[in-house]
Structure 1
Protein backbone atom coordinates (compact mmCIF):
# COMPACT_ATOMS: atom_id res chain seq x y z
CA UNK A 1 0.00 0.00 0.00
CA UNK A 2 1.30 3.46 -0.92
CA UNK A 3 1.62 6.17 1.67
CA UNK A 4 -0.28 9.36 0.97
CA UNK A 5 2.78 11.45 0.01
CA UNK A 6 3.84 8.84 -2.57
CA UNK A 7 0.33 8.68 -3.98
CA UNK A 8 0.24 12.47 -4.11
CA UNK A 9 3.54 12.49 -6.02
CA UNK A 10 2.15 9.97 -8.52
CA UNK A 11 -0.98 12.08 -9.02
CA UNK A 12 1.04 15.28 -9.48
CA UNK A 13 3.53 13.57 -11.81
CA UNK A 14 0.64 12.42 -14.00
CA UNK A 15 -0.81 15.95 -13.97
CA UNK A 16 2.53 17.43 -15.08
CA UNK A 17 2.80 14.93 -17.96
CA UNK A 18 -0.84 15.60 -18.89
CA UNK A 19 -0.04 19.33 -19.13
CA UNK A 20 2.94 18.67 -21.44
CA UNK A 21 0.96 16.31 -23.68
CA UNK A 22 -2.08 18.64 -23.79
CA UNK A 23 0.28 21.48 -24.76
CA UNK A 24 1.60 19.42 -27.71
CA UNK A 25 -1.89 18.29 -28.73
CA UNK A 26 -3.13 21.89 -28.68
CA UNK A 27 -0.37 22.86 -31.12
CA UNK A 28 -1.23 19.96 -33.44
CA UNK A 29 -4.93 20.83 -33.27
CA UNK A 30 -4.18 24.55 -33.73
CA UNK A 31 -6.35 25.08 -30.66
CA UNK A 32 -4.74 28.33 -29.56
CA UNK A 33 -7.15 28.91 -26.67
CA UNK A 34 -6.32 25.48 -25.25
CA UNK A 35 -2.62 26.19 -25.74
CA UNK A 36 -2.99 29.45 -23.83
CA UNK A 37 -4.60 27.62 -20.90
CA UNK A 38 -1.38 25.60 -20.45
CA UNK A 39 0.95 28.62 -20.41
CA UNK A 40 1.92 31.08 -17.70
CA UNK A 41 1.58 34.76 -18.60
CA UNK A 42 5.32 34.87 -19.34
CA UNK A 43 7.52 32.00 -20.52
CA UNK A 44 11.29 31.57 -20.64
CA UNK A 45 12.03 30.00 -24.01
CA UNK A 46 15.19 28.53 -25.48
CA UNK A 47 14.85 27.28 -29.05
CA UNK A 48 18.39 28.43 -29.89
CA UNK A 49 19.45 25.06 -31.36
CA UNK A 50 16.53 25.00 -33.81
CA UNK A 51 15.95 28.66 -34.63
CA UNK A 52 19.28 30.26 -33.70
CA UNK A 53 17.38 32.69 -31.47
CA UNK A 54 18.71 34.02 -28.19
CA UNK A 55 16.95 32.47 -25.18
CA UNK A 56 14.51 35.00 -23.74
CA UNK A 57 11.33 35.62 -21.82
CA UNK A 58 8.20 36.32 -23.86
CA UNK A 59 4.50 36.65 -23.17
CA UNK A 60 2.18 33.72 -23.73
CA UNK A 61 0.47 35.73 -26.45
CA UNK A 62 3.77 36.27 -28.31
CA UNK A 63 4.56 32.55 -27.97
CA UNK A 64 1.20 31.64 -29.49
CA UNK A 65 1.63 34.22 -32.27
CA UNK A 66 4.96 32.59 -33.20
CA UNK A 67 3.28 29.19 -33.41
CA UNK A 68 0.39 30.55 -35.50
CA UNK A 69 2.82 32.15 -37.98
CA UNK A 70 5.42 29.38 -38.02
CA UNK A 71 2.95 26.54 -38.49
CA UNK A 72 0.49 28.25 -40.85
CA UNK A 73 -0.64 25.79 -43.52
CA UNK A 74 1.21 22.87 -41.94
CA UNK A 75 -0.02 19.61 -40.54
CA UNK A 76 1.98 18.62 -37.47
CA UNK A 77 2.32 15.75 -35.07
CA UNK A 78 4.18 16.21 -31.79
CA UNK A 79 5.15 13.00 -29.99
CA UNK A 80 6.25 13.33 -26.35
CA UNK A 81 7.78 10.46 -24.40
CA UNK A 82 10.39 9.41 -21.79
CA UNK A 83 9.07 11.85 -19.20
CA UNK A 84 11.28 12.39 -16.16
CA UNK A 85 9.46 14.58 -13.67
CA UNK A 86 10.82 16.30 -10.58
CA UNK A 87 8.46 18.15 -8.28
CA UNK A 88 9.42 20.60 -5.55
CA UNK A 89 6.36 22.02 -3.76
CA UNK A 90 4.50 23.99 -6.45
CA UNK A 91 7.21 23.87 -9.13
CA UNK A 92 8.14 21.05 -11.47
CA UNK A 93 10.51 20.16 -14.27
CA UNK A 94 9.79 17.60 -16.95
CA UNK A 95 12.59 16.34 -19.16
CA UNK A 96 11.28 14.42 -22.15
CA UNK A 97 12.09 13.21 -25.63
CA UNK A 98 10.17 14.52 -28.59
CA UNK A 99 9.64 13.93 -32.26
CA UNK A 100 7.87 16.53 -34.40
CA UNK A 101 6.61 15.77 -37.88
CA UNK A 102 5.71 18.74 -40.09
CA UNK A 103 4.01 18.37 -43.46
CA UNK A 104 3.27 21.18 -45.92
CA UNK A 105 0.63 19.76 -48.29
CA UNK A 106 1.20 22.64 -50.75
CA UNK A 107 4.80 21.56 -51.51
CA UNK A 108 6.08 18.86 -53.82
CA UNK A 109 6.61 15.40 -52.27
CA UNK A 110 10.22 15.14 -51.14
CA UNK A 111 10.25 18.87 -50.30
CA UNK A 112 7.16 18.95 -48.07
CA UNK A 113 8.47 17.56 -44.76
CA UNK A 114 10.58 18.74 -41.88
CA UNK A 115 11.03 16.32 -39.00
CA UNK A 116 12.96 16.97 -35.79
CA UNK A 117 13.70 14.98 -32.68
CA UNK A 118 15.46 15.70 -29.45
CA UNK A 119 14.78 16.64 -25.86
CA UNK A 120 12.71 19.20 -24.01
CA UNK A 121 12.93 20.53 -20.50
CA UNK A 122 9.65 22.11 -19.47
CA UNK A 123 9.43 24.14 -16.27
CA UNK A 124 6.01 24.38 -14.65
CA UNK A 125 4.24 25.95 -11.71
CA UNK A 126 1.10 24.78 -9.99
CA UNK A 127 -1.67 27.36 -9.90
CA UNK A 128 -3.81 28.04 -6.84
CA UNK A 129 -6.48 25.96 -8.59
CA UNK A 130 -4.11 22.98 -8.69
CA UNK A 131 -3.38 23.00 -12.44
CA UNK A 132 0.17 22.83 -13.78
CA UNK A 133 1.13 25.51 -16.32
CA UNK A 134 4.31 25.92 -18.33
CA UNK A 135 6.75 28.68 -17.36
CA UNK A 136 9.77 27.59 -19.39
CA UNK A 137 10.68 25.56 -22.47
CA UNK A 138 14.18 24.51 -23.53
CA UNK A 139 14.55 22.46 -26.68
CA UNK A 140 17.64 20.43 -27.55
CA UNK A 141 17.80 19.18 -31.14
CA UNK A 142 19.31 15.79 -31.89
CA UNK A 143 17.92 15.08 -35.39
CA UNK A 144 16.77 17.37 -38.21
CA UNK A 145 15.56 15.74 -41.39
CA UNK A 146 13.91 17.32 -44.39
CA UNK A 147 13.35 20.76 -45.82
CA UNK A 148 13.86 23.64 -43.33
CA UNK A 149 11.78 25.90 -45.61
CA UNK A 150 8.68 23.99 -44.48
CA UNK A 151 8.75 25.70 -41.06
CA UNK A 152 7.74 29.36 -41.08
CA UNK A 153 10.38 30.33 -38.51
CA UNK A 154 13.12 28.95 -40.76
CA UNK A 155 11.93 30.13 -44.19
CA UNK A 156 14.43 32.25 -46.08
CA UNK A 157 17.16 31.68 -43.48
CA UNK A 158 20.49 30.19 -44.48
Structure 2
Protein backbone atom coordinates (compact mmCIF):
# COMPACT_ATOMS: atom_id res chain seq x y z
CA UNK A 1 0.00 0.00 0.00
CA UNK A 2 1.18 3.52 -0.80
CA UNK A 3 -0.20 7.04 -1.10
CA UNK A 4 -1.04 6.48 -4.76
CA UNK A 5 -3.57 3.76 -3.85
CA UNK A 6 -6.15 6.32 -2.66
CA UNK A 7 -8.69 8.57 -4.28
CA UNK A 8 -10.24 11.83 -3.17
CA UNK A 9 -12.86 14.29 -4.31
CA UNK A 10 -11.63 17.49 -5.96
CA UNK A 11 -13.07 20.88 -4.99
CA UNK A 12 -15.18 20.72 -8.15
CA UNK A 13 -16.76 17.43 -7.05
CA UNK A 14 -15.01 15.05 -9.42
CA UNK A 15 -13.28 11.92 -8.16
CA UNK A 16 -9.48 12.01 -8.41
CA UNK A 17 -7.47 8.80 -8.43
CA UNK A 18 -4.16 9.62 -6.79
CA UNK A 19 -2.50 6.94 -8.93
CA UNK A 20 -2.24 9.64 -11.61
CA UNK A 21 0.59 11.10 -9.49
CA UNK A 22 2.52 7.82 -9.27
CA UNK A 23 6.24 8.45 -9.66
CA UNK A 24 6.00 12.03 -8.47
CA UNK A 25 6.90 13.57 -5.12
CA UNK A 26 3.84 14.67 -3.15
CA UNK A 27 3.47 17.33 -0.49
CA UNK A 28 0.12 16.64 1.19
CA UNK A 29 -1.21 19.43 3.42
CA UNK A 30 -4.37 19.82 5.48
CA UNK A 31 -5.39 23.45 4.93
CA UNK A 32 -7.78 26.06 6.29
CA UNK A 33 -8.79 29.53 5.13
CA UNK A 34 -9.09 31.22 8.54
CA UNK A 35 -5.93 30.00 10.28
CA UNK A 36 -2.86 31.89 11.43
CA UNK A 37 -0.93 29.64 9.01
CA UNK A 38 -3.19 30.39 6.00
CA UNK A 39 -0.50 32.64 4.42
CA UNK A 40 1.47 29.41 3.86
CA UNK A 41 -0.72 28.96 0.77
CA UNK A 42 1.52 31.50 -0.99
CA UNK A 43 4.72 29.59 -0.15
CA UNK A 44 3.10 26.26 -1.07
CA UNK A 45 2.16 27.72 -4.45
CA UNK A 46 5.74 28.97 -4.93
CA UNK A 47 7.09 25.46 -4.25
CA UNK A 48 4.58 23.99 -6.69
CA UNK A 49 5.46 26.49 -9.43
CA UNK A 50 9.18 26.05 -8.89
CA UNK A 51 9.31 22.25 -8.69
CA UNK A 52 6.31 20.86 -10.56
CA UNK A 53 8.35 20.57 -13.76
CA UNK A 54 10.69 18.25 -11.87
CA UNK A 55 7.88 16.14 -10.41
CA UNK A 56 6.52 17.82 -7.25
CA UNK A 57 2.77 17.95 -6.72
CA UNK A 58 1.28 19.85 -3.79
CA UNK A 59 -2.10 18.48 -2.71
CA UNK A 60 -4.29 20.65 -0.48
CA UNK A 61 -6.99 19.10 1.68
CA UNK A 62 -9.20 21.65 3.46
CA UNK A 63 -10.23 20.57 6.94
CA UNK A 64 -12.69 22.16 9.37
CA UNK A 65 -11.72 20.09 12.43
CA UNK A 66 -9.59 22.73 14.11
CA UNK A 67 -11.71 25.48 15.68
CA UNK A 68 -13.92 25.63 12.57
CA UNK A 69 -11.26 27.48 10.58
CA UNK A 70 -12.48 26.16 7.21
CA UNK A 71 -16.20 26.99 7.32
CA UNK A 72 -16.77 27.70 3.61
CA UNK A 73 -18.18 25.57 0.84
CA UNK A 74 -15.88 23.95 -1.70
CA UNK A 75 -16.66 26.76 -4.14
CA UNK A 76 -15.84 29.42 -1.53
CA UNK A 77 -12.60 27.65 -0.62
CA UNK A 78 -11.52 27.50 -4.26
CA UNK A 79 -12.33 31.15 -4.88
CA UNK A 80 -10.54 32.21 -1.68
CA UNK A 81 -7.39 30.27 -2.52
CA UNK A 82 -7.24 31.49 -6.10
CA UNK A 83 -8.08 35.13 -5.35
CA UNK A 84 -5.90 35.60 -2.27
CA UNK A 85 -2.97 33.29 -2.95
CA UNK A 86 -3.07 32.39 -6.66
CA UNK A 87 -3.31 28.70 -5.83
CA UNK A 88 -3.06 26.46 -8.90
CA UNK A 89 -2.03 23.21 -7.19
CA UNK A 90 -4.73 20.53 -6.79
CA UNK A 91 -7.21 21.26 -4.01
CA UNK A 92 -9.72 18.76 -2.72
CA UNK A 93 -13.08 18.78 -1.01
CA UNK A 94 -13.09 19.18 2.75
CA UNK A 95 -12.00 16.11 4.69
CA UNK A 96 -11.59 15.04 8.27
CA UNK A 97 -8.01 14.19 9.16
CA UNK A 98 -8.69 12.80 12.64
CA UNK A 99 -11.30 10.56 14.22
CA UNK A 100 -13.47 7.78 12.87
CA UNK A 101 -14.34 9.80 9.77
CA UNK A 102 -10.74 10.58 8.84
CA UNK A 103 -10.05 10.30 5.12
CA UNK A 104 -8.25 7.00 4.36
CA UNK A 105 -5.28 8.89 2.87
CA UNK A 106 -4.73 10.72 6.14
CA UNK A 107 -5.08 7.53 8.15
CA UNK A 108 -2.30 6.09 5.96
CA UNK A 109 -0.09 9.19 6.22
CA UNK A 110 -0.42 9.40 10.01
CA UNK A 111 0.35 5.72 10.46
CA UNK A 112 3.47 6.00 8.29
CA UNK A 113 4.69 9.19 9.96
CA UNK A 114 3.46 9.60 13.53
CA UNK A 115 3.86 12.96 15.22
CA UNK A 116 5.68 13.90 18.39
CA UNK A 117 5.89 11.09 20.94
CA UNK A 118 4.39 8.69 18.41
CA UNK A 119 0.93 10.26 18.40
CA UNK A 120 -0.92 9.80 15.14
CA UNK A 121 -3.42 12.62 15.55
CA UNK A 122 -2.88 15.74 13.50
CA UNK A 123 -2.70 18.64 15.92
CA UNK A 124 -3.52 21.59 13.65
CA UNK A 125 -4.01 22.97 10.15
CA UNK A 126 -1.08 22.97 7.72
CA UNK A 127 0.51 19.76 8.92
CA UNK A 128 2.55 18.59 5.94
CA UNK A 129 3.51 15.13 4.69
CA UNK A 130 6.28 14.70 2.14
CA UNK A 131 5.79 11.54 0.08
CA UNK A 132 8.48 10.01 -2.11
CA UNK A 133 8.10 8.80 -5.68
CA UNK A 134 7.43 5.32 -4.26
CA UNK A 135 4.33 6.55 -2.42
CA UNK A 136 5.85 6.17 1.06
CA UNK A 137 5.91 9.00 3.59
CA UNK A 138 9.40 10.40 3.98
CA UNK A 139 8.71 13.13 6.54
CA UNK A 140 5.95 14.80 8.55
CA UNK A 141 6.24 18.52 9.31
CA UNK A 142 4.55 20.57 12.00
CA UNK A 143 2.14 23.36 11.03
CA UNK A 144 4.61 26.06 12.05
CA UNK A 145 7.27 24.63 9.71
CA UNK A 146 7.10 26.95 6.73
CA UNK A 147 7.00 25.43 3.23
CA UNK A 148 10.31 27.10 2.31
CA UNK A 149 11.98 25.08 5.09
CA UNK A 150 11.14 21.91 3.11
CA UNK A 151 13.20 22.86 0.04
CA UNK A 152 16.26 20.75 0.84
CA UNK A 153 14.14 17.66 1.53
CA UNK A 154 12.10 18.22 -1.64
CA UNK A 155 15.20 18.71 -3.77
CA UNK A 156 16.75 15.54 -2.38
CA UNK A 157 13.64 13.51 -3.30
CA UNK A 158 13.35 15.09 -6.72
CA UNK A 159 16.97 14.14 -7.44
CA UNK A 160 16.16 10.47 -6.80
CA UNK A 161 14.84 8.54 -9.76
TM-score, normalization: structure 2? 0.26
The structure number with the bigger radius of gyration is 1
Higher RCO (CA-CA < 8 Å; seq separation 6+) = 2
TM-score, normalization: structure 1? 0.27
> Which has more strand, going by share of residues?
1
